[in-house]
Amino acid sequence: MELKKIGDVKFVKGGVCAAKGFKANGVQCGLAHAGASVTKKKNDLALIVADKECTAAAVYTTNKVKGAPILVTKEHIKNGKAKAVIVNSVNANTCNADGVEKAEKMCQLAASALGISEQDVIVASTGVIGQPLPIEPIEKGIKPLVEGLTYDGNSRAVEAIMTTDTQVKEVAVEFPMGGKTCTMGGMLKGSGMIHPNMATTLTFITTDADISAELLQRALSDVVKVTLNRVSVDGDTSTNDMVCVLAAGTAENKPVTKEDADYGAFVNALYNVLMNLARMMARDGEGATKLIECSCTGADTEAVAETVAKSVITSSLFKAAMFGEDANWGRILCAVGYADADFDINKVDVQIGSKQGRIDVCKNGAGVEFSEDEAKKILQEEVINISISIGDGAGAATCWGCDLTYDYVKINGDYRS
């Protein structure tokens, strides 16, 4: 799947290690689902470390049930500073009586091995909810995890955060800011339990840009709303969602301390990273075969456009039709119609498209003749575009989803095994 570029950025390799001054590593420490007969032979413990203390910001799940790592991380970055991230997969460390104790222990282990304060460590976990996190494998894994840190260790780290993910999700960009070339990179896990309430993910962003903690938090909070919060796979919102950003300032740009052109450049870079990670997450939805990009234009406000686009990408009937490559446009109009927003349904136009072309399927709220063969050809592609116009307003929004397949049920029917 091709990356999409907005504005003055250049895609580069390296993920969370692309920015100057960041090391990473991932190891297989031996965590396993309860009852699993064979430990999955993939990395399950990751570490990201900056050469110097960074400004830090984070956004968390809106679920009332929150994983213990979120509670600990919130306390640790109250001062807007951090230097390292430790994260495990397999076990979410959520709904456990000793959850906070285990999350703090992970920070202590990392801090001791790195020679830093545990308050400078961000901690995250993903995996099965409600099972105690065994700390012993993590204790044994810390030494090789730290010893293996390298400035090109991003691929080992991103493997360690994957659960039901089938595709690696990382992206990095270079961008001009403050008279210097700055770099920003990120990695993401997320495949199921994905819905637009701080979409279900663990996402880690690193940058060598110099920006104040206040503006870093503002940028992250704003960009998450138009990227990760516009993704849906299955309507479920996780307990452990977290996006964090570490900014090291090693690019030696003029520090960003106000909302000026440099701040705009930073926000655009962050948008490019998170937007592409969001698209990767939607494409790798559990069992998915297609990425669906639904754009709504002509709305009175951006909020109305977002509501309409989200309504379409979350429709199970529409998602199933996309899996069957069936141009059943009535399911699109149905989802548009029950969106919680005000607009004139008689002004709704719908197009379906892909790199094979575009066709109109609905005009002014009613169907139009089109070639089923041409529509089938369009829907056979990996990336499907649904374009909806609901009037002549300036409001517009794009949301991302995926098709609904037989494999979604298979994956979630035996998730713990």
Domain ranges in the chain are: 10-283, 291-413
Q: Please identify which of the residues 73, 94, 163, 200 carries the catalytic annotation.
A: 200
State the CATH architecture for 291-413: Roll (3.10)
Q: Does residue 286 have a pLDDT over 80?
A: no
Distance between CA atoms of 202 and 353, rounded to whole angstroms?
31
Angle at 5 between CA 352 and CA 83, to 5 degrees: 125
pTM of the model: 0.87
Q: Which residue has the tokens 């010893």?
A: 147
Q: Which residue spans within 76-179 are E strands per DSSP?
A: 81-88, 121-125, 170-177
Residue type at position 318 = F
Instruction: Classify 239 in phi/psi space as left (phi over 0), alpha (psi -120 to 50) or beta.
Output: alpha
Greatest CA separation for the chain:
68
Closest CA to 359 of 372, 347, 343, 342: 372
36-45 per-position pLDDT tens digit: 444 457 899 9
Find the Cα–Cα–Cα–Cα dihedral 46, 16, 416, 146, rounded to 10°: 0
Dig out the tokens for 359 from the structure: 């066709």
Closest CA to 186 of 13, 359, 372, 406: 13
Q: At residue 147, what are phi and psi to the nearest 5 degrees? A: -65, -25
Distance between CA atoms of 11 and 103, rounded to whole angstroms?
34
Note whether 169 and 175 are within 8 A (CB): no
**Residue 238 pLDDT:** 59
Find the Cα–Cα–Cα–Cα dihedral 356, 361, 362, 368, rounded to 10°: 140
Dig out the tokens for 177 from the structure: 């800011």
DSSP letter at 229 equals G
Q: What is the mean pLDDT of residues 101-124?
A: 98
Fold of 10-283: L-amino peptidase D-ALA esterase/amidase (3.60.70)
Beta bridge partners of 181: 176
Return the SS3 of 7: coil
371-406 per-position pLDDT tens digit: 999 999 999 999 999 999 999 999 999 999 988 887
Mean pLDDT of the chain: 90
Angle at 196 between CA 191 and CA 202, to 5 degrees: 45
200 is catalytic: yes
Q: How confident is the model at residue 282 (pLDDT cuts 50, 70, 90)?
A: confident
